[in-house]
Structure 1
């Protein structure tokens, strides 16, 4: 079984027609998995719905404790891209026996041309194939958490 911990990020944002902003009225993960026709055994757990720039050290600790407490050996964490590497570092410092993949998107699921389904599919595949460790998957690639950076100028993740 694959455990998906939902924390928010762009992939789960929705356009609010009333104020013109992106917000989090609810998670979109069940709809994403249905649209992707994913048949992997997955358990979803909502931890929070936050923009990663608003994540605190306590939020990262809560994510880590959820990973430790989970019976699953394969864990995906949906996460905003701006602080994804910081959360991955926090997890990697103390979790060595599970495969953890952080995934996000540059364009929300509910907006046309979103990269969400592609990135989520990559994460679901990666978590089943990679050995124990902490990874980030974006742009069709799987990165070691400590060898990746978000290139904000080009809107993609790159090896450092």
Structure 2
């Protein structure tokens, strides 16, 4: 039967048999999975009144440990977006009462982003549901396949220099 990428590979094999398109089989599948996962996560978070990026910010702050705050720069590195985008996101989340901006007591020029009590409640309520949803998305994989896939993806990320959140 095969997947959609198999169909693409077959087309290339027919049209350009002189080109070994094996990389498309991997990159295409990772790309398609990214889109499918993104759509499923967007729907999940929408059911809970959040955007995916809002959960990402809440989760990043929550896993940083008490007092659940980071500089805007640290959030920016974690989010992999432009500074304008992170500012806009923080503005929206602040308006929802999920985070607050706090002047750094040691460096008044620096602003830290902190979870509010409401933001902490929201992320703590959602994290277990989110993990269960992700497990549902990966249900086709048995434990050995999950471990193998995680290891292979880790190898690729490491080879591309993605070894740190900083």
Give the alignment's TM-score, normalised by structure 1.
0.27
Larger Rg: 2
Q: Which has the higher strand share?
A: 1
Task: From the two aligned structures, give the one with the greater helix fraction.
Answer: 2
TM-score, length basis structure 2:
0.26
Higher relative contact order (CA 8 A, sep 6+): 1
